[in-house]
Structure 1
């Protein structure tokens, strides 16, 4: 697999890697991450995610409007909720070249520090919960303003 990934990275900006062996991923809708971070600016979002996910690696696929937090392969799908999906065995993920740390396209919002450094599932769930709570609060405020 490393040879194939290197070949794909030399030709394209991403390589398709199988999930479930070395790592799994949690896909989070972009709107939830941006709400949690309080920003849509890539650098601000990256700073937020790096702090909240303890520098665990996160991919941003801006074309499909999702973030992918890389988690241990044995991390279960406990995090499943609207806008959030656990991806594991039988799933392939487009992983950017290690040097792709800026938009456009698919890039590392938080670059990996080492193969052993992955996101904690509870922290990923907290990011999604924070985003969902902030969106709900914003919706409530807009509803109150429209009614008033």
Structure 2
């Protein structure tokens, strides 16, 4: 991975091989988000047990303007939880339109495949018209 990709999601905690592969893969896809108005300077990795990656949508004044992705690894599954939230956490007030969870069997699913889904989700959320009232 080149150094330009490492600027995305500073502070990310990845301890397992699958977590590291997911973070590397999503960073590799993030370079294309600049054309959507998503700069690396408004991305973050929350220092928690599992990788929690966020990027801020800059074209809204809503309190829930961050797109958060939580990578979860169990013995049987790999999954991502994609959710709207604020600048410190996932949305803790219940589901928001656009939130998704994607789960793959560990035997056949890959961190790279989940990074593809996460990148597609971010692209979709960044390009949809979203009235600020839906976020407050």
TM-score (norm 1): 0.27
TM-score (norm 2): 0.29
- Pick the structure with greater CA Rg: 1
User: More relative contact order in 1 or in 2 (CA 8 Å, sep 6+)?
Assistant: 1
Higher helix share: 1
